[in-house]
Amino acid sequence: MNASQRQAVVVTGASSGIGAAAALLLAQEGFVAFAGVRNDADAVRADALHANVRALRLDVTDRATIDAAAAHVAQLGYRLRGVVANAGIAVAGPLEFLPVGEVRRQFEVNVFGALEVAQAFLPQLRASYGRLVFVGSISGRLAVPFIAPYSASKFALRALADALRVELAPAGIAVSLIEPGSVKTPIWQKGRDARAELEARLGPGARERYGAQIDAVYAQTVREERAGMPVEQVARAIAQALTARKPRARYVVGGNARAGSIVALLPPRLRDRVLRASLKLPATAPPPACGGVHEPGER
């Protein structure tokens, strides 16, 4: 079978976690799976996954590498079945003290990187009537305190996926969003490592004001990660989005993702109460006894 008869997929963020699992599963199903990685060590590991996996040097924050990767895939002549925009990071911390540059970095990877990957590969997807799959999160429906940058990026990614699905429908390109719940993935370990560095830079004020709440949220994150679903479960949803005759717009993956999607529909005050209870956060402080506070409806 020559290259033009074989179908290929591109998966970003494939050095570990969901991306590596998706590349492996798709390779096992007969696709040539281009695994997007950023360095030589990750490329060696990707190439060793399966005979059908090809390491693809690609940094989603560097448009030049994205364009070079797209040109490389096009030159090989495979029929591009789909692109999986999976690369992501998790930035966490109290918004009151979090440097805005950290929030920008979150969006550069999770949002702008995903969009630039889509833009670079869309000419090939148009030619092959391919598919575009974004890996979001249930946090894109339910903002979680102290990981707000991550949640915000997934809200934004959800909006991009929804808009692109309508914009690209006339071209025959299906767009799907994967919304997993808790997953056993290195992204949170990387986030915890970054948290230690970030807390050192935030200063004592942040720790004094939010320390107990941050500890509670991270403890819950650790519990959920340990009880989380295997990355292979998310990979199967990605494969379904790429191969189903009529792919869904959204794939909510995992029990706590389904629960989170229900909590997201609650009225704001009730939703806040549920979040505080589930994360073991303190209740709202009582209002001051007097002085300078507008009552509701006063303005």
> Catalytic positions, please?
150
Backbone φ/ψ region at 77: left (φ over 0), alpha (ψ -120 to 50), beta: left
Instruction: Enumerate the β-bridge partners of residue 57.
Output: 37
CA torsion sign for 191, 193, 198, 203 is: positive
CB distance 124 to 80 below 8 Å: yes
What one-letter code names the amino acid at 70?
A
What are the backbone dihedrals phi and psi of residue 16, each rounded to the nearest 5 degrees, phi first? -165, 180
The phi, psi pair for 129, rounded to 5°, reads: 50, 50
The region that residue 80 occupies, defined by phi over 0 for left and psi between -120 and 50 for alpha, beta otherwise, is beta
Q: Which two tokens stand for residue 104?
A: 């920008």
Separation between Cα atoms, residue 164 and residue 169, nearest integer Å: 8
Instruction: Write down how long the chain is.
Output: 299
DSSP string, 132-166: EEEE--GGGTS--TT-HHHHHHHHHHHHHHHHHHH
Say how many Å lie between the first and final Cα of the chain, rounded. Answer: 72
Check if the beta carbon of residue 11 is closer than 8 Å to that of residue 36: yes
Radius of gyration for the chain, computed over Cα atoms and rounded to the nearest angstrom: 21
CB 180 within 8 A of CB 86: no
